[in-house]
Structures are given as C-alpha cells and as structure tokens.
Structure 1
Amino acid sequence: MSVYEPGSTIQRFEVLHHQVWMQSPVTVVSDDGETLGVRLDPGSPFTFPPHPFGPHPWSSQSAWGATVVLQLHRASDHYAVWKFFDADGSFLHWYINFEAPIVRGPEGFETDDHGLDLIVRPDGGREWKDVADLHWQRVQGRIDQDDVGRVLAAAAEVTDLLDSNTRWWSRWDGWTP
C-alpha cells in the first residue's frame, strides 16, 4: 500500500469502467495509511483522456475554480469529506462527495464520483445536491444497482454521524489552508 508524504503532489484519478476519465494534481496534507487528506487548489489543471463512455461531465472545464478544498478519504468509505474555503481562506462549508472507495497507487489514488452530494453549512444545516444523478448514472450505465445500494447505505451512515454528532472528520474542524 502506498502512503504519501505530506507536501508531495500526487494525482487524483477519476476512473470509470477501469479507465481514467479525469485526473488532477492534489497536494498531500496528511496520510496515516487509513485517512488520506489532500488539498485541491484553485487553478489545478484537469486532464480528460479519451474514454469509451464519452466526455466527462466536467470536460468543458480546464481547471478547478476559485476555492481551496481539503479532501478527506478513508480507505473503505463510499464517500469523501471535503472542506471548502473561499479565495481568502474563509471556511465555506463541508461537502460529502459520495464516490467509490479510493484505490492507492504509486502516482496517486483512484476513485469515481457517484453524483450524490451533501452540503453541510457552518450552522449545521444540510442540503442534498444532485439527488437525481444517482438514478441517471445507473440508467446511463456509469454505476450498477449494487453501487446505488452502497451509496444509499453511505448516505444513511453519514446522516447518522451528523445526527449523533460523531463525525470522524471533526478533528479537521480547525484546519485551514
């Protein structure tokens, strides 16, 4: 298993049907072998290799926008926890990105976004985002019914963690870029 050195640049590969669909560089913030924390910075370039499934939904974008994002990935979770900051470093919100568990490699890690997202505002309010994407990804063949079940189970797990105030990522509450 690859453990990445803090401060190093690695690649985040979005892989669909065993082929890279998108990649971008991220900077390692922390890695203990179980939880990987990486930083996505404004202007980080996106690369979209040709893919038999067609263009990636973000293929019209050449780079990440104006926010700094801390992305926290645990080895077997079907979601990552993202912490968004605006350009001046002010905390905006938490963002739960439901995705495939990461697979580590020598150049970086692989995952695949499953569309469903949950925004958690600083006041604790929640907003589900892209709920219909889960259905459309299944219809389009990006994911199968088993993946849908795993995403829904992960959504229930995250909701329980938030409801019970037992978020494993609370140790990152004070982290800033």
Structure 2
Amino acid sequence: MWRETDLLLWKPPAAWFSVNSFFVPDSGGGRWLRNWYVNFEHPTRRTEAGFDTFDLTVDLVITPDLTRWEWKDEDEYAHVRRLGIVSGTEHQAVDDARAEVLAMLAARAGLLAHAERWAAWRWEPTWVTPRPPRSRATTERVAPEEG
C-alpha cells in the first residue's frame, strides 16, 4: 500500500513495460499528477499467487504534460547487462519497447492519447483494497507420514 502517493498502473500483458502515473497530495487536500513513469520489465505472467514480472532497471520519467522526458538508471541497466542478468534477447526486447514507448509519446498515441483524462483520475476512497487469493500451497496442510 502506498502511503503518500496514489499509483495508477497500466500493464498490457505482453508488453515489456508498464506505464505508471504518480499522484501526490496538494495543499488543498486534493491530488495532482506528479509524473508519468515507464518501467521496463518482463511481460506479466499469471501465477497461482497472482502476477509475476521482472524489473529490467531502466526507466523513463515523463512530465505530466508529456513535453519533457529523461531516462533513469541507465548506468544500472548497463551494469546488469555486463553481469549477464539481462540477456541479449531481453536487451533487444527492451530496445524495441523503448522505441515503442517513444513513438507512443511522440504521437500521443495509445494510453497517452488520453493523458489529460488519466491525469484527472482519482482513487475512489470507497474502493476495497484488493488482496490476492491465498495459494493452495499456503492453504493446504500436508499430514505427516506415518512411520
């Protein structure tokens, strides 16, 4: 659970990135969009416990009005590449995803075509915080073998 920041996250299942928007409190008790944040990561996999992905360290931070952006953690990305944590195949997928995101940003396409509407999004306080289902492994007890 986020404490000061509301997070709205879009993660197309097959994409090598997610687009996040961070909302922070203003002085009048409301919220405002601090920035867009593109996290490059593995596509989402459904598991018994919920969803899994893998952060690939490099990110793109974009101003709320979509006019300026900067890469974040490229030094870390280069380091995990040198260590072999990010393979050549993954690196190619990240490069492709970077190009896709920059094209989407330049054209104000995809979810960014509606950036102003998303910037006005607000968390509904009556919404219940979702909880992932307990996995069978944690809910089933195995009886000890008689011996």
TM over 0.5, shorter chain:
yes
Question: What is the rounded CA distance, in whole Å, between the counterparts of 2:14 and 2:86 in structure 1?
Answer: 18
Q: 1:118 aligns with which of 60, 64, 77?
A: 60
Tell me the TM-score normalised to structure 2 length: 0.71
Query: How many corresponding residue pairs?
Result: 115
Counterpart of 1:77 in structure 2 is 15
Contact 1:81 1:169 in 2 (8 A): no
Q: Per the alignment, do residues 169 and 103 of structure 1 end up closer, same or farther by CA in structure 2, a change over 3 Å counting?
A: farther
Structure 1 segments of 4+ aligned residues over 3 angstroms from their partners: 169-172
Residue 105 of structure 1, CA deviation: 2.1
Q: Structure 1 unaligned runs (5+)?
A: 1-39, 43-65
The structure with more strand, counted as a fraction of residues: 1
Larger Rg: 2
Counterpart of 2:145 in structure 1 is none
| Secondary structure, aligned partner of 1:142 | coil
Contact 2:105 2:112 in 1 (8 A): no
- Quote the sequence identity (%): 30
| Secondary structure, aligned partner of 1:74 | coil
Question: What is the rounded CA distance, in whole Å, between the counterparts of 2:102 and 2:112 in structure 1?
Answer: 13
Tell me the TM-score normalised to structure 1 length: 0.59
Counterpart of 1:175 in structure 2 is 121
Counterpart of 2:129 in structure 1 is none
| Secondary structure, aligned partner of 1:150 | helix
Residue 92 of structure 1, CA deviation: 0.5
Considering only aligned residues, what root-mean-square deviation do their CA atoms show, in Å?
A: 1.7
Structure-to-structure mapping, 1:1-177, within 5 angstroms: 41-42=2-3, 66-88=4-26, 89-124=31-66, 125-171=68-114, 173=118, 174-177=120-123
Deviations 1:10-38 (A, max 9, x none): xxxxxxxxxxxxxxxxxxxxxxxxxxxxx
Question: What is the rounded CA distance, in whole Å, between the counterparts of 1:103 and 1:87 in structure 2?
Answer: 33
Residue 137 of structure 1, CA deviation: 1.1
Contact 1:71 1:81 in 2 (8 A): yes
